[in-house]
Structure 1
Amino acid sequence: MDIKDLKPRTGAGSLRIADSDELVVMEHFGGVPAGRVRPLDHGLVIICTAGVAQFEYDGHTVQLSKNDLFLLMAHSVVEKFMSSVDFDCRELWFSRGEMWNMNMYVKNSLADLLPLKHNPKVTLSDVDAALFETYFKQLSYHIRNSSQLLYPEITHSIVGAFLLEVLSVLRRGNNMLKDNHLINNSGLHGRKLADRFVQLVEQSDGRIRRVDEFAQMLNVTPKYLSKLLMDTMHRKPSVIVAFFTLQAIENRLRYTDMTMQQIADDLHFANASFFGKYFKEHSGMTPMEYRIKYHQDEKK
C-alpha cells in the first residue's frame, strides 16, 4: 500500500499566519486519514484532550488518552489509526523552516530531537496540561487577531517557548538529559552545523552512508564533524547515519514490493549481498526475515 503525505488541513478549526503551512494550529482534530500516512515537511505536537486513540508509529503501537502529549516527527509513518467516538486533540504543526526562523539554537537544536524519536510520548501532569492549554489559547488569540501590531513576531515567540516546553516535559518524562549531554557549550554555530548534518542525512534517505561525504558537504573535516556531534548530541556521526539508513530500508521492506536487488540499487549498495549483510549487522535479521515478520504481524 502506498504511503500518503500527511498535510495540515484547511478550514474550520485550523489557524495559520497569512495562509502559510509553515505554522498551523489546530484546536480540534479527530484523527488521521485511513491507510499509511507520513508528514514529510512537518513535525507535530499532539495533545489529547478527550477520548482514546491507538495507532502504529514506525511499527510501534502507541496509545493516547487524555493529557498525553505526543511528538510526531517528519518522515515517520503512521498507520492503523483507531479512536473512540469522543476522541479529540489539539495540534501544532511546524516546519523545519519555522524552527530555523525562531532561532531556538541558543538553548536547543533540531539535532537534539533525534533521541526523542524513540521516546515521543509523555503523560502531562495537571500543571503541565494547564500550561499547554494557556499556550494554545495565546496562539489562537494572536493568530486570529492578525491586525495586531507585530502579531507574526509575537506568535513565533510563543511557539518558540511552547516547543521548548514540549522538549522539557518529554525529556523530564523519559529521564533524558540526566547528565546534561545534549545542552552544552558548543555554541550557536556548532548546533546549527549539527542540525544541518542531521537534515542532510535525513534527506539522503539512506543513499549516502559515508561520514566523509557529509563532512565534505558541510565543508569540515570528518574528525571535526565527529567531535562536534559527540559534543552536541553525544553520538557518533556513523550511528546517526545508520539510524536513518535503517529507517529507509525498513520503509521499503514494509511498505513496498521492491525486491532485495531493487532496494540495494535504490539505496546505492554495491550489490544485494552487501545490502543484506549491512541490514543484518544493524538489525539482527536479514531483510527477508524482517519482511516476513512484518507481514506476519500484519495478519494478526
Structure 2
Amino acid sequence: MKTKSEEQKAKQISQLADLGHDRHKFLHTVLDGFVVIDKHEINADDEWLRKKVVSRRSERISIFIVTDGHGKINLDMRDYDIKKNSLVVISPTTIMSMLPVETSYTLSGVSFTIDFMAEVGMPENGSDVFAFFSSRFSPVWNLEEEDTQLIIALIGRLIERTAQYAIHPFGKEILIHSFFIFLYELGAMAQKYSQMTRMNFTRQERLIIKFGNLAREQFREVRTVKKYADQLNVSAKYLSEIVKEFSGKNASEIINDLVILEAKFLLGRSELSIGEIADNLNFSDQSFFGKYFKRHTGMSPKAYRESEF
C-alpha cells in the first residue's frame, strides 16, 4: 500500500506525463470565458479572510501580478511568498489554497478557460509560449519594475478591448490580437524568470514522462505499445505495467484515449469528412476508423458528429 507521499509523487508524475491528457484537451474545446481583473484587493481587514482557509482545484488559466502589498499563496500544497512585482502563473488542475490573510495586497491579471483558448486558437509557436505552464517550473516569478509595468500596461489594454468587444465592428479580432500580444510578452519573460523546480525522479518515473511526451507527439502515426517501448529501450509488457501503476490505465489505453480525443475534436470542430479524418489519423481506410471509433465510444463517427450538432 502506498504512503501519502508516494501517492502525491505518483500524481505528480502522472501530471508531468499527461497521462490524463489534460494538456491535449487544452486545444480542443469551445468558447467559455475570459476575465480581466483590475486592482482587486485582498484585504486583511476582512474578518472572513483572516480566519478562513479555502482550497479548490483550478479549472482556469490565471496570470496575475501583485501591484501592491504582500502576502502568501499556497499552490499544490506549497506555500509561496508574494509581494509587489510578483507574477503568479496558475495552470489548470492546480490546487489553490487561500491562506488566512494577515496583510493586504492588490492584484491585476487575466483568467481564462481552456475553452476560450480553443475558440480563439493558439498563436504561432503556441507550444513555446505556453511551455511555462508546467509543474517543472516555479509558478511565482519576481519581476523587475520595468517588466511589471509592461504587464500592467498589457492588462490595461485588455480591459479596454474587453469593454469595446460588443460595440466595435472588429471587437473580437482586436481582443484576440491584444490577448496574443500579452501571451507573447509573457512567453518572452518566461525565458528570463521561470525556474525549473528541483525534482528527483526514479528511472521508472522518467520512463513514464518520456512515454507521455512521445505518445502526444506520435499517436497519429504510432498506436502500438511495442513501438513506443522500442524507442524507450524497454519491453512492451514492462512499459504497460509501469504506466498502469501510475495512471490506472495500461499504455495502449493511454494511446487509444489520445486517438479518440483527437477524433472527437475533428468530428465535432472541423469540416473534414469522416474519410479525411480517418486519413488524418493514419487509418488504412474509413471503415477501419469507424470500427475503431465505435469500439471505443459505443457509437459510429457519423452518429457522434450528429450528436455534437
> TM-score by structure 1 length?
0.51
Q: Does 1:173 align with 2:193?
A: yes
- Name the aligned partner's letter for residue 170 of structure 1: A
The one of 85, 98, 108 equivalent to 2:116 is 98
**How far does the alpha carbon of each residue in 1:272-291 deviate from its partner, in whole angstroms, 9 at most, with x for none?**
xxxxxxxxxxxxxxxxxxxx
- Name the aligned partner's letter for residue 193 of structure 2: G
Aligned pairs (5 A) from 1:250-265: none
Q: Does 1:61 align with 2:101?
A: no
The one of 107, 127, 131 equivalent to 2:125 is 107
**How far does the alpha carbon of each residue in 1:58-103 deviate from its partner, in whole angstroms, 9 at most, with x for none?**
1111111111101012221222524455410012111112222332
State the percentage of identical aligned residues.
Answer: 16
Contact 1:25 1:91 in 2 (8 A): yes
- Name the aligned partner's letter for residue 41 of structure 2: G
Give the equivalent residue in structure 1 for 2:40: 29
Give the equivalent residue in structure 1 for 2:156: 137
Give the equivalent residue in structure 2 for 1:124: 143
Change (3 A) 1:37 1:91: farther
- Name the aligned partner's letter for residue 101 of structure 1: E
Report how far residue 123 of structure 1 moved.
Answer: 1.3
Give the equivalent residue in structure 2 for 1:241: none
Range that drifts further, 63-72 or 73-82: 73-82
The one of 125, 136, 157 equivalent to 2:177 is 157
**How far does the alpha carbon of each residue in 1:136-193 deviate from its partner, in whole angstroms, 9 at most, with x for none?**
11111111123112112211221122123223323321357xxxxxxxxxxxxx99x5
Contact 2:34 2:113 in 1 (8 A): yes
**In 1, Cα distance between the equivalents of 2:249 and 2:184?**
31
> TM-score by structure 2 length?
0.50
**Structure 1 unaligned regions, length at least 5:** 1-19, 177-189, 198-205, 221-300
- Deviating 4+ runs (over 3 angstroms): 31-34, 82-86, 113-118, 206-209
**How far does the alpha carbon of each residue in 1:213-237 deviate from its partner, in whole angstroms, 9 at most, with x for none?**
12112339xxxxxxxxxxxxxxxxx
**How far does the alpha carbon of each residue in 1:26-58 deviate from its partner, in whole angstroms, 9 at most, with x for none?**
102234974333344201001000001102211
- Secondary structure of 2:79's partner? strand
Larger Rg: 2
- Secondary structure of 1:130's partner? helix
Give the equivalent residue in structure 2 for 1:219: 259
**In 2, Cα distance between the equivalents of 1:87 and 1:61?**
16
Change (3 A) 1:164 1:211: farther
Change (3 A) 1:85 1:118: same
Contact 2:32 2:116 in 1 (8 A): no
Change (3 A) 1:160 1:57: same
Change (3 A) 1:212 1:99: same
Aligned pairs (5 A) from 1:35-74: 35-74=53-92
The root-mean-square deviation of aligned C-alpha atoms, in Å, is: 3.5
**How far does the alpha carbon of each residue in 1:248-288 deviate from its partner, in whole angstroms, 9 at most, with x for none?**
xxxxxxxxxxxxxxxxxxxxxxxxxxxxxxxxxxxxxxxxx
Report how far residue 21 of structure 1 moved.
Answer: 5.4
- Secondary structure of 1:51's partner? strand
**Structure 2 unaligned regions, length at least 5:** 1-30, 44-48, 197-212, 221-245, 261-309
Contact 2:58 2:96 in 1 (8 A): no
Contact 1:24 1:93 in 2 (8 A): yes
**In 1, Cα distance between the equivalents of 2:254 and 2:133?**
17
- Secondary structure of 2:169's partner? coil
